[in-house]
Amino acid sequence: MSRRYIYIKVYCAGTVTEEQFSQTLSASIVKYFGEIGLSQIAPKIIRYDSSKSSAVVAFAKDYAAELHAALAFITHVNESDTLMLPLKTSGTIRGLSNS
């Protein structure tokens, strides 16, 4: 399975931990694409920086649109307004290092 890596910036009124980020992302994917969709997209958090509120997530190459849509549908984390913005997608983690 070919993978891609996405750099996501998290804007939230409160703080978001890695666990909350992971749970929210999975919940959004399951809500709109189901368990099968989650297994197809196969998101995996490579890096989460809570000080910069950013994350690098690996996912299956053919399901980029599904992941982007799932991120767009996230409006709240822990009852705080949240925006998850995909800023860059690359075929290698190194390709995201400048972000």
Partner 1 sequence: MAQLLALCGYHSVGVTVPTGLMRDRLEALCDRFRDSGLEIFLRADLTCSRREELLKLLRRFRPAFDLIGVRCTNHSLALVAARDRRVDLIFFDHGKRNVWLDDSIANVSNASLEVNLRLLLECQDLLSLTRLRKEIAIAHRHNMDIVLSSGGTSAYTVRAPIQLMAIGEILGFTRQDALRSVSTIPLRIVTKNSHRRSSNYIEEGVTTLAEGQ
Residues that bind partner 1 (CB under 8 A): 11, 13, 32, 64-69, 71-73, 75, 81-83, 85-87
Tokens of 59: 């996912």
Q: Residues near 45 by Cβ (< 8 Å), separated by ≥ 6?
A: 18, 21, 22, 55, 56, 57
Residue with Cβ nearer partner 1 (32 or 61)? 32
Kindly state the smallest distance separating residue 49's Cβ from partner 1, in Å. Answer: 17
Residue with Cβ nearer partner 1 (56 or 71)? 71
Residue with Cβ nearer partner 1 (31 or 44)? 31
CA-based torsion, 13, 35, 8, 57: positive or negative: positive
Kindly state the smallest distance separating residue 61's Cβ from partner 1, in Å. Answer: 14
Measured CA to CA, the distance from residue 15 to residue 78 in angstroms comes to 9
